[in-house]
Chains A and B, each alone.
Chain A
Amino acid sequence: MSNYPPPSDADIREAITRLTDPQLRRVFYSGLQNPLWVSPLARAGAFDNPPVPFEDESGQRREEPWPEMDYLVQVAKAAPDAVTDVALGLVKSESAWVRRGIVSIAASVPAVNAAPLAKAILGWKSQGIGWRTDPQELSQVAIHLLQGGFNSLGLKIAEKLFRPRRRDGSRRSVRADFALDDYWYDELLPPVVAALGDMRLKVLAQWLEDYEVHAERVAKTADLDLSHIHRPSIESRGQYNLDIEEALIDAVRDASIDAMKIDPTNAVEILRYSGQTLSRRICVYATAVALRDSPEDQALRAVAIDMAGWPELGRPGFLIEFSLLIQAAVASTGSTAIFDRILPTLASGPMGSPEELAERLKRPDQSADELDSEIASYVEHWRHRILSGIGAPALPPTLRDELVALDEKRGGVPRPEREFEVVTWSGPESPLDSEALDAMTRDELLNYLETWHPDPDTWRGPSYEGLGRELAGAITRRPDLLLGKADRVVELRPTYLRSILGGWREAIRSGASVPWLEVARIVATTVGEPIESPIPVEEGRSERDEAHRDARDAALWLAVALIERTDDRVAAPREAVELVAPVLIALATDERIREGYASSGPAGMDPLTLSLNQALPVAVRGLTLLAGSEDLASDAEVMAVLADLAAWEDPHGAVASVLGEATSRLYVRQRTWLEAHAAEIFGTAEGLSRQQQIAFTTALATNHAHAQLLGLLRGGIEWSLTSGTELAVGWRGMRTPGQLIGDWITTMYLRSSIDRDHPLLDLFFEKSPLETRAEVLGHIGWSFMHAKLVDPEPLARAMRLWDERVEHVRRHPEEVGELADFYWWARSEKFPLEWWLSRLRAATELHPNLRTRGMLGERLAQAARTFPGLVLAIVRNIINAREDPEDFRNYDLMERAIPPTIAAALDSGDAEVADDARKLMNELGRSGFIDLEGRVNDLRKPDA
Chain B
Amino acid sequence: MKWVHIDRIIADGRERVLPTDELILEHLTAIENVLASRLLEFFDARRLIDDMLERFNRKTEDNQ
Binds B, one of A8-16, A295-303, A505-513, A841-849: A8-16
Q: Contact check: which of B50, B61, B62 meets A31 at CB < 8 Å?
A: B50
Checking B34, B41, B55, B56 against A17 with a beta-carbon cut-off of 8 angstroms, the contacting residue is B34
Give the contacts of B11-64 with A (CB-CB under 8 A).
26, 29-30, 33-34, 36-38, 41-43, 45-46, 48-50, 52-53, 55-62
In the complex, whether A57 has a CB less than 8 A from a CB of chain B is: no
Contact with B along A26-53 (1 / 0, CB 8 A): 0110011110010000000000000000
Task: Answer yes or no: A2 CB below 8 A from chain B CBs.
Answer: yes
Question: With A13-B30, A14-B33, A18-B36 known to touch, is A4 a contact of B57 (CB < 8 Å)?
Answer: yes
State A780–B32 Cα separation when bound (angstroms).
58
Min CB distance A923 to B, Å, is 8
What's the least CB distance linking B45 to chain A, in Å?
Answer: 6
Q: Known contacts being A3-B62, A37-B56, is A933 close to B43, with CB within 8 Å? A: yes
Residue of B nearest to A921 (CB): B43
Task: List residues of chain A with CB within 8 A of the CB of B62.
Answer: 1-3
Is B33 touching A34 in the complex (CB atoms < 8 A)?
no
Q: How far is the CA of A28 from the CA of B33 in the complex (A)?
A: 15
Which B residues lie within 8 Å of A922 (CB)?
41-43
Decide: B61 and A2 in contact? CB cutoff 8 A: yes
Asked whether, in the complex, the Cβ of A18 is within 8 Å of the Cβ of B42, the reply is no
Residues of A within 8 A of B58 (CB): 5
| B-contact 0/1 string along A237-274, CB 8 Å cutoff | 00000000000000000000000000000000000000
Residues of B with C-beta under 8 A to A757: none
Q: Which residues of B contact A2 (CB under 8 A)?
A: 59-62
Does the CB pair A21–B26 fall under 8 Å? no
Contacts of B42 in A (CB 8 A): 21, 23, 922-923, 925-926
Q: Which residues of B contact A34 (CB under 8 A)?
A: 56-57
Chain A's nearest CB lies how many Å from the CB of B49?
5
Contact B60 A32 (CB under 8 A): no
Nearest CB of chain A from residue B55's CB, rounded to whole Å? 8
Query: Is there an interface contact between A15 and B52, defined as CB atoms closer than 8 Å?
Result: yes
Of listed B49, B58, B62, residue having the most chain A CB within 10 A: B49
Tell me the count of chain B residues lying within 8 A, CB to CB, of chain A.
Answer: 26
The interface centre, meaning the residue of A15, A20, A933 with most chain B CB atoms within 10 A of its CB, is A20
On whether the beta carbons of A3 and B56 are closer than 8 Å, the reply is no
Contact across chains for B57 and A20 when beta carbons are under 8 A apart = no
What is the CA–CA distance of A5 and B62 in the complex, to the nearest angstrom? 10
Flag whether A128 is at the interface (Cβ < 8 A): no
Q: How far does the alpha carbon of A877 sit from the alpha carbon of B46 in the complex, in Å?
A: 26
Among B38, B56, B58, which residue has the most Cβ atoms of chain A within 10 A? Answer: B56
Assess whether A31 is in contact with B57, with CB atoms less than 8 Å apart: yes
Given that A2-B62, A925-B46, A933-B46 are contacting pairs, would A18 and B37 also be in contact in the complex, using a CB cutoff of 8 Å? yes
Bound complex: CA A34 to CA B59 (Å): 9
B33 touching A17 by the CB < 8 A rule? Answer: yes
B26 to A10, Cβ gap below 8 A? yes
Give the complex CA separation of A656 and B64 in angstroms.
96
Instruction: Give the residue of A5, A17, A18, A37 whose beta carbon is less than 8 angstroms from that of B60.
Output: A5
Q: Does A24 contact B (CB under 8 A)?
A: yes
The answer to whether A33 touches B36 (Cβ under 8 A) is no
Neighbouring A residues of B41 by C-beta, 8 Å? 918, 922
Min CB distance, B39 to chain A, in Å?
10
Central interface residue in B30, B42, B45, B61, by most chain A CB within 10 Å: B42
- Count of CB-CB pairs between chains A and B under 8 Å: 87
Interface contact A24-B59, CB-CB below 8 Å:
no
Interface check A112, CB cutoff 8 A = no
Does B33 lie within 8 Å of A18, measured CB to CB? Answer: yes
Contact B56–A21 (Cβ < 8 Å) = no
List residues of chain B with CB within 8 A of the CB of A923: 42
A24 touches B57 (CB 8 A): no
Contact B60 A27 (CB under 8 A): no
Q: Please pick, from A4, A7, A18, the residue contacting B48 in the complex, using a CB distance under 8 A.
A: A18
Cβ-closest chain B residue relative to A1: B62
**Identity of the chain B residue whose Cβ is nearest the Cβ of A13 in the assembled complex:** B30
CB distance from B31 to the nearest CB of A (A): 8
Most buried by A among B26, B29, B53: B53
Question: Which B residues are CB-close (under 8 A) to A21?
Answer: 37-38, 42, 45
Instruction: List residues of chain A with CB within 8 A of the CB of B56.
Output: 7, 11, 15, 32, 34, 37
Q: Complex Cα distance A17/B42, Å?
A: 15
**Nearest CB to that of B53 among chain A residues?**
A31
Shortest Cβ distance from residue A21 to the other chain B in the assembled complex, whole angstroms: 7
Q: In whole Å, how far is B35's beta carbon from the nearest beta carbon of chain A?
A: 9
Residues of B within 8 A of A20 (CB): 34, 37-38, 45
Task: For A930, list chain B residues within 8 Å (CB).
Answer: 46
Q: Encode contact with B along A931-943: 1 for CB under 8 Å, 0 otherwise.
A: 0110000000000
Kindly state whether residue A439 has any CB partner on chain B within 8 Å. Answer: no
> Which of A10, A28, A37, A926 is the one whose CB lies under 8 Å from B49?
A28
Instruction: Check if B52 sits within 8 Å of A28, measured CB to CB.
Output: yes
From B41, which residue of chain A is reached at the shortest CB distance? A922
Scan A902-934; emit 1 where CB is below 8 A from any B CB, else 0.
Answer: 000000000000000010011101100010110
B46:A27 contact, CB within 8 angstroms:
yes
B49 near A27 (CB under 8 angstroms)?
A: yes
In the complex, A39 Cα to B47 Cα: how many Å? 26
List residues of chain A with CB within 8 A of the CB of B36. Answer: 18
> Is A19 in contact with chain B by the CB < 8 A criterion?
yes
A337 to B34, CA, bound (A): 91
Bound complex: CA A620 to CA B62 (Å) = 94
Given A18-B52, A34-B56, the answer on whether A24 and B37 have CB atoms closer than 8 Å is yes
- Give A307-337 as 1s and 0s: 1 = Cβ < 8 Å from B's Cβ atoms: 0000000000000000000000000000000
Assembled-state Cα–Cα distance A15/B48 (Å): 10
Nearest opposing residue in chain B for A36, CB measure: B56
Complex Cα distance, B57 from A274, in Å, reads 59
In the complex, which residue of chain B has the Cβ closest to the Cβ of A931? B46
Determine the residue in chain B with the shortest Cβ distance to A28. B49
Smallest CB gap from A918: residue in B: B41
Residues of A within 8 A of B61 (CB): 1-2
How far, in angstroms, from A692 to B49 measured CA to CA in the complex? 72
Question: Min CB distance, B60 to chain A, in Å?
Answer: 5
CB of A4 to closest CB in B, whole Å: 6
- With a 10 A CB-CB cut-off, give which of A1, A17, A18 has the most chain B CB atoms: A18
User: Residues of B contacting A4 with CB < 8 Å?
Assistant: 57, 59-60
Q: Which of B38, B48, B50, B59 contacts A3 (CB 8 A)?
A: B59
B30 touching A17 by the CB < 8 A rule? Answer: yes
B-side contacts of A24, CB under 8 Å: 37, 45-46, 49
- Report A-chain residues with C-beta under 8 Å of the C-beta of B30: 13, 17
Most interface-central of B30, B38, B45, B57 (chain A CB within 10 A): B45
Q: Smallest Cβ distance from A899 to chain B, in angstroms?
A: 13
Residues of B near A5 (CB, < 8 A) are: 58-60
B64 nearest CB neighbor, chain A only: A1
Return B29 CB to nearest CB of chain A, in Å. 8
Contact A27 B43 (CB under 8 A): no
| B55 contacts across to A, CB distance below 8 A | 11
CB distance from A13 to the nearest CB of B (A): 6
9 A-B residue pairs with CB within 8 Å: A2-B59, A4-B59, A7-B56, A11-B55, A17-B30, A18-B36, A24-B45, A925-B43, A925-B46
Q: Nearest 3 A-B pairs (CB), nearest first?
A: A17-B33, A925-B42, A2-B59
- Starting from the known contacts A18-B49, A21-B42, 9 additional A-B residue pairs (CB-CB under 8 Å) come to A2-B61, A3-B62, A4-B60, A13-B29, A20-B38, A27-B46, A28-B52, A31-B50, A922-B43
